[in-house]
Amino acid sequence: MAEPFRSFVSKVVPLPAENVDTDQIVPARYLKVTDKEGLADALFRDWRFGEDGSRKNPAFVLDRPGMAGRRILLVGDNFGTGSSREHAPWALRAWGIEAILSTSFADIFRSNALKNGVLPIAVDPATHAALFELVARDPDAELRLDLAEQGVLLPDGSTIDFEVDPFAKMMLLAGTDEIGYVLAREAEIAAWEAAHPPRVDTRLGTPLAAG
Amino acid sequence: MGLEAGLPIAGQPVEVVFIGSCTNSRISDLRLAASVLKGNRAADGVRLMIVPGSQQVKRQAEREGLHDIFRAAGAEWRESGCSMCIAMNGDQLSPGQYAISTSNRNFEGRQGKGGRTFLASPLTAAASAISGVVTDPRTIPGVSELVTVGGGY
């Protein structure tokens, strides 16, 4: 499915808002969409565009000069709260966001993000504050993100270490997901099945009559 | 949402009443709503939508005749679905409109861009439909005995 998640260098999109819910990340009216391509325009739609579809003035951070192409989002605590909505990481990924730095993430959002090539990185509050100070001082500061090493390298040479679920990390680095992981073992599964004839009628959930 | 800290919520006008969502539209919720709405009518200018939590709930409610009580009260008796919980199926607030809703989320714009949502129980939502303002259901005759402390509503 996805491309393998590689280390990269990027400037940061700062969004100092807490408890950003999935209704803000992508409003419900876009949930009928099944093609991820167009979702970049739905990202933070109601914060970016007015009723007539024109960009708000002053522009929302995503639409300010120099923000296009940035791959790291720096946001406030409890990002992605609210409805389970896979379109939220889809929209972030469609815009170009591949990693999100915050102090915490809503559980379902974190899980959805990891399955869709977006890496949520939780840091402690002091580090979080220091990152916002860094981008306030130098809006074009570049961070180097390395998933394999689980580190974010800052311009001053220091590194922020972060935790990530080992299985999710393996999936991201391989550019696959649980389904791909299972399908890659199809031969082994078929061999196991061949060596274990059915003992239960799976249509009825009852033991087969013979043996 | 146009309210001030410390302002009582009771008495705030609502234009739309939504009794629905997977959170609060099981058969027991609809029975409670019907107990309040029986013999009453939604206030003029109030849109009352009642959306069963599933087709199974819808069939059971109709076996019990709840849909007749709802329709007599001026409600729209709908197919099960997400409806205004998530501003789906064309059910959404207009900018500036206030709703009382038995769903469980009132994030900005959730029930329609620019709309505002009070979250409430089915009893409170039904009582508010009758008066057109956020209303304590215990003020509706015959309802107070339905409300028990920790009663699981």
pLDDT average, residue stretch A179-198 = 91
CB contact under 8 A, A46 and B113: yes
d(CA B110, nearest CA chain A) in Å: 6
Which comes out higher in pLDDT, residue A147 or B148?
A: A147
CB contact under 8 A, A21 and B107: yes
Per-residue pLDDT for A17 more than 60?
A: yes
Average pLDDT in chain A: 93
User: Given the DSSP bridges, would you call strands A72-75 and A12-15 parallel, antiparallel or unpaired?
Assistant: parallel
Chain B residues with CB under 8 Å of A83 CB are 86, 105
Q: For chain B, list residues whose CB is within 8 angstroms of any CB belonging to chain A.
A: 86-88, 105, 107-110, 113
Confidence of residue B144 (pLDDT cuts 50, 70, 90): low
CB contact under 8 A, A27 and B108: no
Residues linked to residue A145 through DSSP beta bridges, in sequence order: A8, A152
Confidence of residue B142 (pLDDT cuts 50, 70, 90): confident
Q: What percent of chain A has pLDDT over 90?
A: 79
Compute the Cα dihedral for A20, B87, B116, B152 and give only its sign: negative
State the pLDDT at residue A38: 84
Residue range B83-98, pLDDT digits in tens: 999 988 789 999 999 9
CB contact under 8 A, A27 and B109: yes
Residue range A26-55, pLDDT digits in tens: 998 888 877 787 899 999 999 999 888 899
The whole-angstrom separation of Cα B118 and Cα B99 is 6
Chain A residues with CB under 8 Å of B90 CB are none
Per-residue pLDDT for A210 more than 90?
A: no
ipTM: 0.74
Residue range A123-182, pLDDT digits in tens: 999 999 999 999 999 999 999 999 999 999 999 999 999 999 999 999 999 999 899 999
Residues linked to residue A8 through DSSP beta bridges, in sequence order: A145
Chain A residues with CB under 8 Å of B87 CB are 28-29
Chain B residues with CB under 8 Å of A82 CB are 105, 107
Instruction: Among A31, A46, A83, select the one facing B109 at the smallest CB separation.
Output: A46
Give kind and range of the element (H or E) at residue B77: strand B76-77
Per-residue pLDDT for B121 more than 90?
A: yes
The whole-angstrom separation of Cα A12 and Cα A77 is 17
Per-residue pLDDT for B152 more than 50?
A: no
Give kind and range of the element (H or E) at residue A20: none
d(CA A48, nearest CA chain B) in Å: 13
State the pLDDT at residue A202: 77
Instruction: Among A23, A31, A83, select the one facing B108 at the smallest CB separation.
Output: A23
Chain B residue with the nearest C-alpha to that of A31: B88
State the pLDDT at residue A181: 93
> Are the C-beta atoms of B17 and B129 separated by less than 8 Å?
yes
Confidence of residue B153 (pLDDT cuts 50, 70, 90): very low
pLDDT average, residue stretch B32-44 = 95
CB contact under 8 A, B87 and A51: no
- Using DSSP's 3-state secondary structure scheme, residue A21 falls into strand
Which comes out higher in pLDDT, residue A210 or A14?
A: A14
Per-residue pLDDT for B148 more than 60?
A: no
State the pLDDT at residue B150: 42
The whole-angstrom separation of Cα A59 and Cα A55 is 7
Chain B residue with the nearest C-alpha to that of A83: B105
Q: Phi then psi for A57, rounded to 5 degrees? A: -130, 120
pTM of the model: 0.83
